[in-house]
Amino acid sequence: MPAFLATLVALVFPPRCPLCGDALAQQGGLCAACWLQLAVPGEPACSSCQRPLPDGMVRSGEVQCAPCLAAPPRHAGIAAATLYNAASRDLVLAFKRGKRIALADLLARLMVRSLPTLEGEWLVVPVPLHRWRLWERGFNQSALLAARIAGATDQPLVVDALVRQRRTPSLGGLGKRARAEALRGAITPHPGRAARLKGARVLLVDDVMTSGATTDACLAALRKAGAGDVRIACFARVLDEALDYAAPGGAMLAA
């Protein structure tokens, strides 16, 4: 945005922290206190899924977390900007249900900072919404994030690579097995994108990763289409057990 327009916007809409409402020096961020409320996954971490691990658990070399040892993941890694806590939840709810779509810029910017270097071409693909959910909400929050990530990383966006064929119930309160059953066959590759997906490396984008059931359904659809490596990028990842040894969000400012 040109400087004069940014100044005009700031005069008409004074910059405010989207979490607490305190005044800010400029648009598009959080106040210092709210930055510190975010929980940022760091090192040491699982070499397969990037689950944060206690410092004393890793002495040298790479280590896998217990869930990955029990069931090796089909993805090539998870990049989460934050761990799901009260602050990240409030940002996601304001973005998704409060329809404050301007927050997509902030969330995507933090997600890009968590990504490893993407060598070569990676297709940026959002987790799909069913058409009726899309009609109700007016936008797919994952697609908004994916578009900004694609632009920031100079990678191609394929917004309709995956299709949610049927509307699935809310997964809240369901166990892992029930979530998987609710999503069985619900997500499929777009038949018109088969050639684009075959052999491609994919960055799968979602706002929140809870149990992994939705991303597993997307992974199955991408594998069916013949995709190669699939990385997962999310803004918030639900790992309650890792919150105690996450870094405060101020680490993002120092990085």
203: which 2 tokens?
A: 């960055």
Q: What is the pLDDT of residues 97-133, one digit of tens each?
A: 899 999 999 999 999 999 999 999 999 999 999 998 8
Looking at the chain, the domain(s) classified CATH 3.40.50.2020 span 39-254
Burial class (CB in 10 A: 0-12, 13-18, 19+), 111: buried
CA distance 145 to 125: 10
111: which 2 tokens?
A: 């997600």
Contact 115, 79 (CB under 8 A): yes
- What is the phi/psi pair of residue 231, to 5°? -105, 150
Give the total residue count for the chain. 255
Q: Of the CATH numbers 2.40.100.10, 3.30.530.50, 3.40.50.2020, 1.10.490.10, which one belongs to the domain with range 39-254?
A: 3.40.50.2020
3-state secondary structure of 244: helix
Distance of alpha carbon 132 from the chain centroid: 22
Candidate from 14-23, 88-97, 123-132 with smallest mean pLDDT:
14-23
Percent of the chain with pLDDT over 90: 64
Contact 84, 236 (CB under 8 A): yes
Model pLDDT, residue 4:
44
Taking 90 as the threshold, does the pLDDT of residue 43 lie above it? no
Model pLDDT, residue 216:
93
Is the preceding omega at residue 128 within 30 degrees of 0, hence cis?
Answer: no
Taking 60 as the threshold, does the pLDDT of residue 1 lie above it? no
Q: What is the pLDDT of residues 154-172, one digit of tens each?
A: 999 999 999 999 887 676 6
